[in-house]
Structure 1
Amino acid sequence: MKLIHFVFHHDTQYIALLTWFCFVSADANVYQRTNDIFLQNTFLTLRNATRVKCCAYCNQTDDCMSVSYQESTKTCKLSRDPLVSVFVNGQTDTSWKSYSKNEWLLVFRGTPGIGGDIYTAWVDGDDVTVDNATCMTTDSTTCDKNYRNPIVDSWTSIGMQQVKFAFYKDNEEAAFVVFNATGSNITSWFSSSNIIQSSWTSLATDSFNYFSILGHDPGRRFMINRNYGGCPVDTGYSIIVINNAFQCTYDIQTSYPQFLFSTSTTYGTAETMSGMDKADVMAIFIK
């Protein structure tokens, strides 16, 4: 793959062929090129278009995530396929190139208080929705399911580079961790050895007794925990409580699951909720 920068300024078009980035105006998207790929999930065709116009039209069109462009015919086809699904849904064709927005794709939204095990919802797709629009967002809505994008089932063949795990409160991102996803499977990316960046700045140098999606079975999932020492001194960053199996105060909730997260740049104490809060939404993104 190679990245090309498309730069737009008012009515004048400029193309800057640089080494690694592609910009479409000051506030728009980076487009990544994939050679010899035709995207099959297209919804609009433009004729006599330049590559610049092709990407610009995508940038201004709702739901457009990628384009297929054929230089010989100046044909542009807009697609809803994101960058991470290019190799899954694309067809090999040497006369076409694809250009995709290099941005985060929401692949899972966890909803609190709806019951069930969020681990099996993520890993196996148990009792999830794939198309309910109220669940395909990080905003607080009437959603009563977990959302899971079917592309998750193709995890090892997607070729994504990063995963972002995040909590949302009052429709704002409240905490996040970005992981290196290269060579990962559906659960192995969630590891302290894969941390790239986090709102919890102490995370990268801390030590843990639990750092996994399975967590402390059978009651605590997506667990990033520093230590146990009796409920009052348990400290950590992230716990999704799915039942009251362990009988600490923070395990006893009026409904499940509940998303507990540290609100500062370091860890909190779940038993007293000191430096902790309950999130409205948990989300997983890939790119």
Structure 2
Amino acid sequence: MSTLMCASLCGNVCGMFHHSPVTNECSTFREKSYDSGVVLSADPDWTTSYRQNHAAVEQGDWTMVFRAQKEIGVSVWDTWNNAGVHDDNPIPSDFPFACLRLADYSSCDRHFRSHILDNWVGIKEVRFSFIKENSEVAFVLFNGTDTSRDSWFSQDRILDSSWYPHLINEVTLTETGIYGHYNLQYVARRFYLFGPHNGCADDWVYTMVIDRTNEPCLDSGNWHIPPFQSMPTFYYSPTSLGRASLRTDKAYPLAQTADVLAVHVKFA
């Protein structure tokens, strides 16, 4: 059996295949090129190839529509809103596998934007999550029915979260939304679940993306959260009990940074 014949056996549910011209054996696998932790034979007589023309990045019932990598110097907001620019349907053959993963992603150098963001139809649920050291450290599950690309990120649509039921019942959130808190000269905070907001010295947060190279509250020393080398930077509350503080002299735990921001959707 030739490698080409083996490839022809890799159908719609196949993600990769393994072929040995020595033994004429062919094996196909459901794992995709972007899946992590896949270990196949290291035998030099075998060739591993990947199916590249995936229309979307799927993990079970969920489809990834956006993935952002920390501190690569590219705006999350600009990428999210860059209509007509797609990294799937199909996934380009030269798109880095690491930038499609939620593990083994240290070499990723770009964000991922799906065509689904420009065709937001039939969405049932949206899962927003932060990944750190190859594990999900925070998530919020939203009701996506009858929403637009931006309107699902709202407190009144939360179904579940890492901070359940605290986030749903939180009455002190003062600012929420993907647009977040933005000022052309000073502040760019996106994917924002924030509050209460009482000035830099008395702020609280669940999730926040700092989407520019400066942040006045951090630069002034009023926030004690981990600093960043570049943008974007992802901050989240590390406690299941609720909000995080942005200072070390408060009763709540200090907000921490994540490596990856991911948005997945489930269709109705």
- Common fold: TM-score over 0.5: yes
TM-aligned CA deviation for residue 116 of structure 1 = 3.0
The alignment status of 1:209 with 2:209, answered yes or no, reads no
CA 1:137/1:83 → structure 2, altered by over 3 Å: closer, same or farther? closer
| Regions of 4+ moved over 6 Å | none
- For 2:228, the equivalent position in structure 1 comes to 253
TM-aligned CA deviation for residue 254 of structure 1 = 2.4
CA 1:257/1:83 → structure 2, altered by over 3 Å: closer, same or farther? closer
TM-aligned CA deviation for residue 160 of structure 1 = 1.7
Which one of the candidate residues 261, 264, 267 is aligned to 2:243? 267
- For 1:279, the equivalent position in structure 2 comes to 258
Contact 2:213 2:230 in 1 (8 A): no
User: Alignment partner of 2:67: what SS?
Assistant: strand
Which one of the candidate residues 117, 120, 124 is aligned to 2:78? 120
TM-aligned CA deviation for residue 114 of structure 1 = 1.2
User: Alignment partner of 2:149: what SS?
Assistant: coil
- For 1:137, the equivalent position in structure 2 comes to 101
Distance, in Å, in 1 between the alignment partners of 2:213 and 2:109 is 21
TM-aligned CA deviation for residue 125 of structure 1 = 5.2
Counterpart residue identity of residue 142, structure 1: S
TM-aligned CA deviation for residue 285 of structure 1 = 0.4
The two structures, once aligned, show a CA RMSD in angstroms of 3.2
Consecutive unaligned residues of structure 2, counting only runs of 5 or more, are 1-9, 14-27, 33-52, 89-94
- Which shifted more, 114-123 or 192-201? 114-123
Higher RCO (Cα < 8 Å, 6 or more apart):
2
The alignment status of 1:44 with 2:11, answered yes or no, reads yes
Q: Percent identity?
A: 28
1:229-248 pair list within 5 angstroms: 229-243=198-212, 246-248=215-217
Consecutive unaligned residues of structure 1, counting only runs of 5 or more, are 1-42, 47-58, 64-78, 85-100
Distance, in Å, in 2 between the alignment partners of 1:197 and 1:275 is 22
TM-aligned CA deviation for residue 148 of structure 1 = 1.1
Contact 1:236 1:267 in 2 (8 A): yes
- TM-score under structure 1 length normalisation: 0.62
Q: Deviations over 1:123-181 (max 9, x none)?
A: 225988553322011123211111112222111x3x02000000011100001000000
CA 1:170/1:126 → structure 2, altered by over 3 Å: closer, same or farther? farther
Kindly indicate which of the two structures has a greater share of residues assigned to strand.
Answer: 1
Counterpart residue identity of residue 226, structure 1: G
Distance, in Å, in 1 between the alignment partners of 2:263 and 2:118 is 14
TM-aligned CA deviation for residue 121 of structure 1 = 1.0
User: Alignment partner of 2:147: what SS?
Assistant: coil
The alignment status of 1:149 with 2:107, answered yes or no, reads no
Distance, in Å, in 1 between the alignment partners of 2:31 and 2:213 is 43
- For 1:111, the equivalent position in structure 2 comes to 69
CA 1:281/1:82 → structure 2, altered by over 3 Å: closer, same or farther? closer
CA 1:115/1:127 → structure 2, altered by over 3 Å: closer, same or farther? farther
Which one of the candidate residues 199, 216, 222 is aligned to 2:162? 199
User: Alignment partner of 1:182: what SS?
Assistant: coil
Contact 2:143 2:152 in 1 (8 A): yes
Distance, in Å, in 2 between the alignment partners of 1:223 and 1:119 is 12
- TM-score under structure 2 length normalisation: 0.66
CA 1:45/1:107 → structure 2, altered by over 3 Å: closer, same or farther? closer
TM-aligned CA deviation for residue 243 of structure 1 = 2.4
